[in-house]
Structure 1
């Protein structure tokens, strides 16, 4: 399924990549399949291509989900699987665009001077509390080396 067949003509105007709008901002690239032309020409070949892309993307996403509780870059792998899906499926392209937009908004909010000052204040308070807790623990129990523990 591509952008032309599901009614999103406006976003599928340019198949050559990102264009610029009148105000100089970059428009988002066209939605739809990124499969080579010879694959798109044959319905059976294109369907098998889509199945293959879906299976590979699913395998990568499942590995990412497995990595969430285990050591490894789980979220990075999940987004990698979504990027694989986005080479072929409009729904994955829209999901990735939404995610990129939200991450960019969060990064801009984090760079706001008021937010940075609040985060720095909270970090300092947390470090002071941790240092106080460590000092109380050391004052009460002292430092005992692991090789000197009596059983």
Structure 2
């Protein structure tokens, strides 16, 4: 395991090359609270810190859920709220790790040459069908809008 010294005199794990893909993977952070040390030192202060983090995270997640039906980046805001919760709660850190792993797997699968070729073929087929439907519409009705057709 490689480690480098940081300015505090401790050691920080260094990313190592992935043996399968050959790329560099990030070491996973340790689970637990990331509150400052002076807050962790006092139990009542740490508990009130956690309540505040939970309330802010809940407000952000609620806004994200509302954005699923309203205009806005709903999923992005929901994951932002989860990231806020992950600064204090282990369960949120585990959910974010699982989500990051699944997104990485999906991205690698999407870059697979067979999957890319299939997606390109399906996209071209869909565009040909849409172009044919537009051509039939223009041949039958001309350049009139659908709500102005009197047939």
Residues 63-117 of structure 1, C-alpha deviations (whole Å, 9 max, x = no match)? 0000011111000000000000000000000000000000000000000000000
Query: Where does structure 1 differ by over 3 angstroms across 4 or more consecutive aligned residues?
Result: 15-26
Q: Does 1:43 align with 2:43?
A: yes
Is the partner of 1:62 in helix, strand or coil?
A: helix
Q: Does 1:112 align with 2:116?
A: no
Deviation (angstroms), 1:26: 3.7
Aligned to 1:60: 60
1:25/1:60 CA distance change after superposition, 3 Å: closer
Between 130-139 and 88-97, report the one with greater CA deviation. 130-139
Aligned to 1:131: 131
Deviation (angstroms), 1:126: 0.4
Query: RMSD between aligned alpha carbons?
Result: 2.4
Deviation (angstroms), 1:25: 4.8
| Equivalent-residue separation in structure 1 for 2:88 and 2:34 (angstroms) | 6
Is the partner of 2:69 in helix, strand or coil?
A: coil
| Equivalent-residue separation in structure 2 for 1:85 and 1:50 (angstroms) | 9
| Equivalent-residue separation in structure 1 for 2:11 and 2:76 (angstroms) | 28
Q: How does 1:2-151 map to 2 (within 5 A)?
A: 18-20=13-15, 25-144=25-144, 149=148
Aligned to 1:9: none
Higher strand share: 2
| Equivalent-residue separation in structure 1 for 2:12 and 2:102 (angstroms) | 22
- Unaligned ranges ≥5, structure 1: 1-14
Aligned partners of 1:31 and 1:90 also within 8 Å? yes
Is the partner of 2:53 in helix, strand or coil?
A: helix
- Unaligned ranges ≥5, structure 2: 1-9
Number of paired residues? 135
Larger RCO (alpha carbons 8 Å, 6+ apart): 1
Deviation (angstroms), 1:150: 8.7
